[in-house]
Amino acid sequence: MSTEVVSLKRSQIDAASEVLAQAFNADPMFSYFALEDEPARLDLINWVAKTILRYSQHYNHIYTTQHDLKGVAVWLPPTKYPLNNVRFLLSGLYRIPPRLRFDRFKQLIALFSKLEGYHQQDLPEKHWYLFMLGVAPTYQSQGIGSLLLQPILKQADREKLPCYLETSTEKGVRFYQRNGFEVLRSGTFPKTNLQYWTLKREPS
C-alpha cells in the first residue's frame, strides 16, 4: 500500500506532537537544554512541537501521512517569516517550558537569536521555511521524510521560490542534501559544543 501525504487536521495536533517528540528524542539541541532524563526531554520536545504546530496550523501547510501518523512536516509560507511573536506566545510559549534547564535559558535565547539573524541575512527574499520535520523512529529510513517534503518542494518549484531550514545534525544535513538543499552556513555555538547548519534549496 502506497503512503499518501495529507494535510494535518487540527484534531491531530496532540498526536503529531508526540510523533515529533519521538523523532527528536536524540537531537543534541534538546538533549542539551532539557533536564537530564528521557521523560523530561520528551516533555520538552512535545511542548515545543505542539507550540509550533498550533502556530503553523493557521497557515495550513502542515503535512502528515494518511491513516497512521508516520511523520510530520511543518512549513511556513512566503512572507510569514519572521514569526509573529505575539501569536507565537499565544500558541504556547506563555506557559513556562516544562523540564527545561533554566541555567541554560540565556544560552537558548542567544542560540535562537543567532539562527534567526542568519535566516534573515541569508534569505531576505520570499521563500518557504521548513519549521520542523520529523519521522517516527519506527518509520525512519523508509522515504517518509522525503515524501512529506514533496508538496511544498513541488509548489516552490512552480512558484520559482527557494526553501530554507536549519538542522543540528550531520545526518540531517545528508538527508536534506539528498532532497536538493545546499549548506549555507555551519558552525558551533560557543560554550555549548552544539553544531548547526543552515540550508537552502533553489527552485528547479
Indicate whether 93 pLDDT > 60. Answer: no
Tell me, rounded to whole angstroms, the distance of Cα 84 from its chain centroid: 17
Indicate whether 142 pLDDT > 90. Answer: yes
Q: Give the C-alpha separation, 25 to 60, whole Å.
A: 26
* pLDDT tens-digit series, residues 39-77: 999 999 999 999 999 999 999 999 999 989 999 999 999
More confident residue, 97 or 114: 114
Q: What's the mean pLDDT when you consider all of the chain?
A: 92
User: In Å, what is the CA distance from 59 to each residue of 53, 75, 150, 201?
Assistant: 10, 8, 17, 21
Q: Are 176 and 73 in contact (CB under 8 A)?
A: no
Phi, psi of 153 (to 5 degrees): -60, -40
User: Using alpha carbons only, how large is the chain's radius of gyration in Å?
Assistant: 16
CATH number of the domain bearing residue 152? 3.40.630.30
Q: Give the C-alpha separation, 53 to 73, whole Å.
A: 10
pLDDT band at residue 94 using 50, 70 and 90 as cut-offs:
low
**Running DSSP on this structure, what letter comes out for residue 34?**
B
- The full DSSP string for 91-142 is IIITSPPTTB-GGGHHHHHHHHHHHHHHHHHH--SS-EEEEEEEE-GGGTTT
Q: Are 201 and 156 in contact (CB under 8 A)?
A: yes
Orientation angle between helical segments 38-57 and 13-23, nearest 10 degrees = 130
Which pLDDT does position 157 carry in this prediction?
Answer: 98
Identify the CA nearest to 171 among candidates 21, 15, 26: 26
More confident residue, 89 or 167: 167
My answer on whether omega of the bond before 82 falls inside 30° of 0, hence cis, is yes
Q: What is the mean pLDDT of residues 168-178?
A: 98
Indicate whether 189 pLDDT > 80. Answer: yes
Our count of domains for the chain comes to 1
Q: For residue 54, give its domain range.
A: 5-201
Which pLDDT does position 83 carry in this prediction?
Answer: 79
Grid coordinates standing for 115? 539562527
| H-only helix segments in the chain | 13-23, 28-33, 38-57, 85-88, 105-122, 144-159, 170-178
The pTM of the full predicted model, rounded to 2 decimals, is 0.94
Q: What is the mean pLDDT of residues 149-172?
A: 98
Percent of the chain having pLDDT more than 90?
A: 79
Indicate whether 175 pLDDT > 70. Answer: yes
